[in-house]
Amino acid sequence: MAIDYSGPVRQTTGWWERALCAQIGSEPFFPEPGRTPVDAKKICQSCEGRVECLEYALTHDERYGVWGGLSEEERRRLKRA
């Protein structure tokens, strides 16, 4: 699954231009079932757009993949807190 940086994302954010996922591709950020997102999380930790990415994911209820360094379950827990 590729991250689409057009449409509403492009209109409301600027983080996608400096996001490391845009440079390396989305595969690590959407691991196959049963695989861990460890590699994606490592990439996110050094990404300049990490905070904005996480804010986007929480605001737009992104349910799949790693966004802003957090997995689906981690984002659900954050929203509940």
- For residues 32 and 61, give the distance between their C-alpha atoms in angstroms, rounded to a whole number: 20
The reply, when asked if residue 47 is annotated as ligand binding, is yes
The reply, when asked if residue 69 is annotated as ligand binding, is no
At 70, phi and psi to the nearest 5? -115, 140
The reply, when asked if residue 9 is annotated as ligand binding, is no
The reply, when asked if residue 18 is annotated as ligand binding, is no
- For residues 75 and 17, give the distance between their C-alpha atoms in angstroms, rounded to a whole number: 23
Annotated binding residues: 21, 44, 47, 53
Annotated binding residues for [4Fe-4S] cluster: 21, 44, 47, 53
